Amino acid sequence: MTHINIASLEVGQEIGSEVFTFTRDSLVRYAGASGDFNPIHYRDDFAKSVGLDGVLAHGMLTMGAAVQVAVNWVGDAGKVIDYGVRFTKPVFVDANDGPLVTVVGKVGAINLEAKTVRIDLTAVSHELAVLGKAQAVVKL
């Protein structure tokens, strides 16, 4: 059960943050779970042959990590009733030093009647926003 008092929330209020590290191992595990074995996610030579600077994380992996901030806050993934993002920049994953992706969640809108809260998420890697308009709606 969620113990968040919707009446005490304010637009702009931070609800949490988390830093994720993506490694090549993370990409292999995600590829196995998702079935997305596109070589741009694990082969430097292939990624460079198609014009990329190197191997990049799966967009859906980045998206899934980002929503975790909202899930942690509300305490139940089933309470996330809507979620969407725009992919703005790729997350390149160096073979030795995986990138850090910092995600911060803030209250973007409150609907007292519907008992929903929109959480606006920012996801940044190497000082660049990697997701745009990342918003999760949670039902309290």
Q: Identify the CATH number of the domain in which residue 38 sits.
A: 3.10.129.10
pTM of the model: 0.93
pLDDT (tens digit, 9 = 90+) per residue, 48-77?
999 999 999 999 999 999 999 999 999 999
Domain assignment present for 32: yes
What is the predicted pLDDT for the residue at 1? 47
CB atoms within 10 A of CB 126: 11
Domain assignment present for 104: yes
Domain assignment present for 1: no
CB atoms within 10 A of CB 34: 13
pLDDT (tens digit, 9 = 90+) per residue, 79-99?
999 999 999 999 999 999 889
- Please state the domain count of the chain: 1
Domain assignment present for 11: yes
Alpha-carbon distance of 81 to 116, in angstroms, equals: 9
Domain assignment present for 63: yes
Alpha-carbon distance of 68 to 38, in angstroms, equals: 25
Residue 69 lies in domain: 6-139
Domain assignment present for 30: yes
Domain assignment present for 81: yes
Domain assignment present for 72: yes
Averaged pLDDT of the chain: 96
